[in-house]
């Protein structure tokens, strides 16, 4: 075990852009998610005897000076960054700053972006010393324990004594999730008040998010599977109940968002979890995401009794031919039936769609609009398709013949699903933006949708307070379609 009195590692979640722009970022006003992966790693490292802290620059944009002060005072042996594609370059900038403040500090990067690109990252960004690929807890713990022998550590990209970039391969044995400690929420400054779920996606505050599974067994073209590949593991119903009880008793949470890709994939554990809540109520409601294939009337009734408030369904597109090119089990009629089934159980439904997939046309967008209108969804989110490293479609777009699919301006800083970096063949970015605004406008001008948001005055009063408090920013976004306001 470590015997140094210094902090062993500082864990950082980068903002992704200049902190001076944070106040004008409509995305932060609508939703600030806690870095659950870092919190899980922090708790695991603490359990293994490694002293650590977390600085979340996304929740606290003015954290750059805090990082510098931390490095000078605590002199950690390592600084670790968890990055998506959009905030990777900001993380790399912070890593260079860290080396200027504390030249001997070792820099480690993890997360979906580096897990997808692996050796390329270490070759192109020499300030980084190590990459943790895939699940991070054990690999990072072993690195902190034995930094002199990286070749013996699975899941690591490193440089050998000759300066050659090496990859040790993926971990052969993955963690039993029920043996992990609960994430170190207490190391997220201001938790839970510093974080917020999407507006109109919860009934009460305070609220929060947690993960109860890792991975996804499906292989849709647009999803990055770099971290967990196609493995799927989940916490037991008992662990899940104890996790929720801990959050209720420690932070007085009234609503919890399960940030899993497939919350209901294992029907038995969800049913057992709901039965535990019904038998021993916690006074807390919850949201989850599910695939329509894994829902049935009996399970939905049980989930409703246990406090399920809303289920998010990945719809992606209302054009059946386009959907068949990118998703397994592309059955729009089945999806429509499941939307009605969820609502019949008294649970809200949020539809998740994207615009701009390879093969998208004005005709397919019109089909999507008509399909969404036919569903009578309670809530709706339309993302701008982005081909992320690690997704099957990224390789197709970047590979030979990719120009036949469309044009791709791969600017990592701008790859946040709120800009059209990829433009399908036959379309233009300008026209896509016009159709995007029209899609949203046509949805939110419908009488049923308007009435649904009026009812949020008593169903989710805090959402209305947040919405009205940031009304000018939301109106600016609706008018300009730009995530971050221009600053003079």
Residue 473 CB contacts under 8 Å (≥ 6 apart), including other chains: 24, 26, 29, 485
Question: What is the H or E stretch that residue 124 is in?
Answer: helix 119-124
Of the candidates 334, 326, 327, 383, the one whose C-alpha atom is nearest the C-alpha of residue 354 is 383
Rounded to an integer, the average pLDDT of 370-383 is: 94
- Tokens representing 226 are 């770099």
Which tokens in the block code for residue 30? 């609508």
- 486, pLDDT greater than 80: no
Omega prior to 206 cis, within 30 of 0:
yes
Instruction: Kindly state the tokens that stand for 355.
Output: 């615009």
Per-residue burial over 134-169, b = 16 or more CB atoms within 10 Å of its CB, e = otherwise: bbbbbbbbbbbeebeebeebebbbbbeeeeeeeebe
Ramachandran quadrant class, 163 (left: phi over 0; alpha: psi -120 to 50; beta: rest): left
* Residues 408-454: tens digit of each pLDDT: 999 999 999 999 999 999 999 999 999 999 999 999 889 989 999 99
Cα–Cα distance measured from residue 209 to residue 104, given in angstroms and rounded to the nearest whole number:
36
pLDDT at 487: 53
The answer, yes or no, to whether residue 229 has pLDDT greater than 70, is no
488 has pLDDT over 60: no
pTM over 0.75: yes
- The two tokens of residue 317 are 């597109």
Dmax (CA) of the chain? 67
The token pair that represents 148 in the structure block: 């002199």
Which whole-number Å values give the CA distances from 457 to 208, 308, 311, 452, in the listed order? Answer: 21, 19, 20, 10
CATH for 197-480 is 3.80.30.20
Q: Which of 179, 141, 168, 172 is nearest to 41 (CA)?
A: 141
* Helices 332-344 and 362-375, axial angle in degrees (round to 10): 30
* Average pLDDT estimate for 243-264: 96
Give the Å distances, CA to CA, from 460 to 203, 209, 281, 428, 453: 4, 17, 21, 38, 9
Percent of the chain residues topping a pLDDT of 70 = 97
| Res 479 pLDDT > 90 | no
Q: Which residues pair with 11 in a beta bridge?
A: 54, 80
Q: Name residue, tokens 């929060």.
A: 208
Residue-wise pLDDT tens digits, 32-45: 999 999 999 999 99
Q: Is the pLDDT of residue 7 over 80?
A: no
**Where do the domains of the chain lie?**
9-167, 197-480
Query: Residue 4: its pLDDT value, please?
Result: 42
Contact 257, 202 (CB under 8 A): yes
Q: Which homologous superfamily is 9-167 in? A: Cobalamin-binding domain (3.40.50.280)
Taking residues 3-18, report their average pLDDT: 82
pLDDT digits (tens, 9 = 90+) for 150-162: 999 999 999 998 8
């Amino acid at each position: 075990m470590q015997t140094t009195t210094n902090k062993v590692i500082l864990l950082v979640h980068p903002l992704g852009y200049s902190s001076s722009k944070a106040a004008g970022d409509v995305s932060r006003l609508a939703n600030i998610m806690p870095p659950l992966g870092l919190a899980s790693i922090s708790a695991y490292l603490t359990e293994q005897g490694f002293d650590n802290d977390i600085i979340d620059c996304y929740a606290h944009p003015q954290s750059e000076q805090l990082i510098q002060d931390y490095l000078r005072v605590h002199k950690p042996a390592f600084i670790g960054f968890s990055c998506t594609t959009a905030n990777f370059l900001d993380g790399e900038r912070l890593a260079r700053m860290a080396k200027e403040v504390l030249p001997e500090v070792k820099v480690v990067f993890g997360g979906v972006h580096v897990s997808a690109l692996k050796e390329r990252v270490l070759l192109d960004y020499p300030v980084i010393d190590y990459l943790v690929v895939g699940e991070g807890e054990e690999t990072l713990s072993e690195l902190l324990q034995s930094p002199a022998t990286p070749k013996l550590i699975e899941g690591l990209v490193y440089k050998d004594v000759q300066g050659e970039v090496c990859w040790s391969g993926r971990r052969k044995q993955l963690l039993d999730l029920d043996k992990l400690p609960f994430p170190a929420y207490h190391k997220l400054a201001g938790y839970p008040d510093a974080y917020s779920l999407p507006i109109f996606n919860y009934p009460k505050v305070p609220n929060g998010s947690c993960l109860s599974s890792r991975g996804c067994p499906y292989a849709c073209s647009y999803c990055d599977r770099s971290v967990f590949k196609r493995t799927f593991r989940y916490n037991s119903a008992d662990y899940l109940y104890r996790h929720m009880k801990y959050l209720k008793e420690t932070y007085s949470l009234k609503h919890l968002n399960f940030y899993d890709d497939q919350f209901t994939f294992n029907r038995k554990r969800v049913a057992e979890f709901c039965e535990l809540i019904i038998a021993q109520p916690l006074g807390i409601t919850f949201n989850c995401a599910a695939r329509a294939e894994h829902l049935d009337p009996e399970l939905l009734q049980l989930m409703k009794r246990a406090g399920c408030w809303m289920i998010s369904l990945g719809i992606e597109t209302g054009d059946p031919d386009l959907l068949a090119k990118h998703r397994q089990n592309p059955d729009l009629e089945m999806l429509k039936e499941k939307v009605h089934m969820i609502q019949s159980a008294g649970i809200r439904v949020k539809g998740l769609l994207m615009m701009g997939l390879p093969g998208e046309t004005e005709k397919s967008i019109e089909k999507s609009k008509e399909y969404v209108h036919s569903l009578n969804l309670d809530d709706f989110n339309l993302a701008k398709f982005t081909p992320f490293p690690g997704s099957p479609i990224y390789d197709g777009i970047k590979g030979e013949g990719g120009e036949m699919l469309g044009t791709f301006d791969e600017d990592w800083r701008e790859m946040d699903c709120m800009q059209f970096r990829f433009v399908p063949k036959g379309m233009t970015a300008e026209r896509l933006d016009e159709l995007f605004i029209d899609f949203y406008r046509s949805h939110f001008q419908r009488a049923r949708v308007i009435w649904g948001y009026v009812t949020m005055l008593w169903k989710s009063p805090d959402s209305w307070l947040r919405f009205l408090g940031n009304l000018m920013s939301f109106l600016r976004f609706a008018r300009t379609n730009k995530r971050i306001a221009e600053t003079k």
